[in-house]
Amino acid sequence: SQQGEEDPQALSIQEGENATMNCSYKTSINNLQWYRQNSGRGLVHLILIRSNEREKHSGRLRVTLDTSKKSSSLLITASRAADTASYFCATARTGSARQLTFGSGTQLTVLP
């Protein structure tokens, strides 16, 4: 089942702008992760935020988690054309931490 749902489904911005993607989920979680997928390739892990954390940073990435609203957001600052990809959130449910449930993704296009 698709626990995580990303919003928007597609996002197009100019290089240098910030990109924000949102993820909602349904059940209690152990952690939430964000992955990136270039077209036709495998996924690459970006960042993991634990259920007891509210915000996490990694380079140009900022992730927030609101467990009361069962939602997360991924912010990419100062976007580059190379950031063009699909971005997926994945949740590790409480009690089955190694099983990740992926959302349907946000397709980000950064225009040069």
**Which residues contact other proteins by CB under 8 A?**
1-2, 4, 30-31, 33, 35, 40-45, 48, 50, 88, 90, 92, 97-105
- Asked if 28 and 36 touch (Cβ cutoff 8 Å), the reply is no
Residue 42 CB, shortest distance to other proteins, in Å, is: 4
Residue 44 CB, shortest distance to other proteins, in Å, is: 7
Q: How big is the chain by its Cα radius of gyration, in Å?
A: 13
**Residues 18, 22, 23, CA angle at the centre, nearest 5°?**
150
Beta strands in 15-105 (DSSP E): 19-24, 29-37, 43-50, 55-58, 61-66, 71-76, 85-93, 100-102
Kindly state the tokens that stand for 92. Answer: 């590790």
Residue 81 CB, shortest distance to other proteins, in Å, is: 21
* Between 78 and 97, CB nearer to other proteins: 97
* Between 31 and 79, CB nearer to other proteins: 31
* 87: β partners: 36, 106
Residue 16 CB, shortest distance to other proteins, in Å, is: 28
* Between 91 and 112, CB nearer to other proteins: 91
* Between 19 and 49, CB nearer to other proteins: 49
